[in-house]
């Protein structure tokens, strides 16, 4: 059987070629009854549109670039999953890029994006500050729609979808204080990253309201492979300060901290309670299960994908600022004293 063409599909469905094209590229603008007729004819001939031909004509490929700081942090896997869930359901493809915690790598990726047909970009920047502006300016220069997720860069006129990190830090502090912890330390990734600084800001504000201050704030590198070595380097100092609880700014840090405390014969939570942040996949699987703040990256991925699709199909964003509130997940790693 000779391969069907878009003209044959249109003729049999009793519609125009323009309507068939709209059915594939923007189905929401085609009436349901018409969509059903076109779909039936496509099924009959096993017709699939040529997206290469479409791209040449429309300069659109329905391909979205998603740039994340690292593939090693489980939370970014959740972000990718949420975005892909929405994009694939709307006929878009996802091209994923790893910045490897490097602004320089971001700029290399900008050049790659420039050499391809990319309809839009979802950016989770390395730092979420002035340094990510360079990548954004490159996208603006190329007239590529760009939206940020899990990061906010002040002073740039592009939309963002983010979690309320400040509130998350407050929730973590309130929970530890409710469990009578007053000698509390913090282990964090670099405070150069905006979201981690916001978590600490919320946490320490609540502590200050109770007339308390953290025993210590230790930083670990963003590079995942060096976290354990760094935590071990200051563990004896932490133990000597006798905290009853430690707030770790990310669950990945909490996992290493629990193991290293055990190596030093310190029981969790009997001797020191551990509070995490992110509620990544394995937070409920470790022993003890991790009390944490649910930072719903899957939901952020869904929300940001919907907003970018809206921009591509309607010419404007549905929202310029979207904030998702985190919530407390109380488990076994924090006890009342």
What pLDDT is attached to residue 300?
97
For residue 308, the model assigns a pLDDT of 97
Using pLDDT thresholds of 50, 70 and 90, give the confidence band for residue 238: very high
The rounded distance, in Å, linking the Cα atoms of 329 and 337 is 19
pLDDT value of position 73: 81
Can the peptide bond before residue 269 be classed as cis, meaning omega within 30 degrees of 0? yes
The 10 Å Cβ neighbour count of residue 157 is 7
Is the pLDDT reported for residue 163 higher than 90?
yes
pLDDT in tens, 17-62: 889 888 877 777 788 899 889 989 988 888 877 655 555 555 677 8
Higher pLDDT, 49 or 145: 145
DSSP 227-270: HHHHHHHHHHHHHHT--SEEEESSHHHHHHHHHHHHHTT--TTT
65-98 tens-digit pLDDT: 999 998 888 889 999 999 999 999 988 999 999 9
pTM: 0.81
pLDDT for residue 57: 56
- Rounded Cα distance, 193 and 131, in Å: 10
Question: What is the chain's mean pLDDT, rounded?
Answer: 91
Question: In this structure, what token pair is assigned to residue 178?
Answer: 């409710």
Least confident of 2-6, 18-22, 49-53, 303-307: 49-53
Average confidence (pLDDT) over 299-316? 96
For residue 173, the model assigns a pLDDT of: 98
- Residue-level pLDDT at 91: 85
Walk me through the domains of the chain, giving residue ranges and CATH numbers.
6-49 (1.10.260.40), 63-163+297-324 (3.40.50.2300), 165-295 (3.40.50.2300)
pLDDT above 60: residue 1: no
Mean pLDDT calculated for residue range 307-311 = 96
What is the arithmetic mean of pLDDT over 110-136?
Answer: 87
Q: What CA–CA distance (Å, rounded) separates 121 from 67?
A: 8
Tell me: the pLDDT tens digits for 274-300? 999 999 989 999 999 999 999 999 999
pLDDT of 328 higher than 60: yes
Radius of gyration, CA atoms only, the chain = 24
Contacts of 266 (CB under 8 A, 6+ apart): 239, 272
Burial class (CB in 10 A: 0-12, 13-18, 19+), 265: exposed
What is the predicted pLDDT for the residue at 192?
Answer: 86
């Amino acid at each position: 059987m000779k391969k069907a063409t878009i003209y044959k599909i249109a003729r049999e469905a009793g519609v125009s070629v323009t309507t068939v094209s709209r059915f594939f590229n923007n189905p929401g603008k085609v009436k349901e009854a018409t969509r059903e007729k076109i779909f039936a004819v496509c099924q009959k001939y096993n017709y699939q549109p040529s997206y290469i031909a479409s791209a040449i004509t429309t300069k659109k490929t329905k391909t979205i670039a998603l740039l994340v700081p690292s593939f090693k942090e489980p939370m970014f896997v959740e972000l990718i999953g949420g975005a892909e869930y929405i994009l694939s359901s709307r006929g878009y493809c996802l091209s994923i890029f790893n910045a490897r915690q490097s602004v320089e790598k971001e700029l290399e990726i900008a050049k790659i994006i420039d050499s391809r047909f990319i309809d839009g970009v979802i950016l989770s920047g390395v730092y979420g500050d002035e340094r990510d502006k360079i990548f954004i300016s490159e996208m603006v220069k190329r007239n590529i729609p760009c939206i940020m997720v899990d990061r906010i860069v002040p002073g740039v006129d592009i939309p963002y979808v983010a979690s309320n990190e400040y509130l998350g830090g407050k929730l973590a502090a309130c929970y530890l204080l409710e469990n009578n912890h007053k000698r509390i330390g913090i282990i964090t990734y670099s405070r150069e990253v905006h979201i981690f600084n916001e978590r600490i800001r919320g946490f320490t504000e609540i502590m200050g309201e109770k007339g308390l201050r953290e025993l210590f704030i230790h930083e670990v590198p963003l590079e995942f492979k060096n976290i354990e070595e760094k935590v071990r380097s200051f563990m004896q100092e932490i133990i000597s300060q006798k905290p009853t609880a430690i707030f770790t700014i990310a669950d990945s840090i909490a996992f290493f901290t629990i193991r290293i405390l055990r190596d030093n014969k310190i029981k969790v939570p009997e001797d020191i309670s551990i509070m995490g942040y992110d509620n990544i996949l394995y937070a409920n699987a470790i022993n003890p299960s991790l009390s944490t703040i649910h930072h719903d990256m899957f939901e952020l991925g869904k929300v940001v994908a919907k907003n970018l699709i809206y921009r591509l199909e309607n010419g404007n964003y549905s929202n310029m600022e979207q904030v998702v509130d985190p919530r407390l997940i109380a488990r076994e790693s924090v006890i009342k004293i």
